[in-house]
Amino acid sequence: MQAINHNKDRIIEILTNSFDDNKSTNWVVKNDKHRVSRIQKLMLYAYDLCKKQNGVHISDDQNGAVIYDYPVTSKYTLVRLIKDISFIFNVIGLERLIKVLKREGYIKKYHSKENFIYLWFLGVSSEHQGEGTGSKLLSEIVDVADKKNLSIYLETSNPRNLELYKRFGFSIYHEWNSDFIGFPIWFMRRDSKRL
């Protein structure tokens, strides 16, 4: 993984394209003629939130990117509040806020109260999928977690991702499939090998 100094635009591009057809992402963003721009703003929001904790990386080949967070130790500041308000208006839409908050509340109640890594986004540019870039990034995140003795949590709405994550020691600990969201979301966790 490389430092993110001059790669912000490429990271946002990779993740926006990777999550363009993702059910969960498209459920969160307001779906109108600006949908792709809203996904881009979602990725920018995640980037800005996680870069302070060194949770943004791009692969050595510049074709994959990952954003992860340490939610238990993240500090809520005035700047974060301003970013959250902008996020609500520019990505979710005010009329969808209650639904999205309900979804996030449901997800968070299944997260650990102890510190952990939250794997928010992992994507590889479409023309380079299947070349091992995503696996390499995931392996590096697993190494970070093991060195820090932390578990990793994530959710996926893409059943194709399940086998990849299982190969890296993740297991499904909850499945959410309700009329509220309209598709299944798998909650996955990988405990540190040092635990």
* Residue range 8-190, CATH number: 3.40.630.30
Q: Tell me how many helices (H) and strands (E) the chain has.
A: 7, 6
Provide the whole-model pTM: 0.91
Strand partners, 185: 176
Interstrand relation of 185-190 and 117-124 (parallel, antiparallel or unpaired): unpaired
Give the per-residue pLDDT at 89: 94
Helices (H), 30-96: 35-51, 78-87
Strand partners, 124: 64
Q: Which two tokens stand for residue 139?
A: 């392996």
pLDDT tens column, 32-58: 999 999 999 999 999 999 998 899 999
pLDDT tens column, 57-70: 999 999 999 999 99
pLDDT along the chain (195 residues), means of 10: 70 97 95 96 95 92 96 84 92 94 95 95 90 93 95 96 96 94 96 74
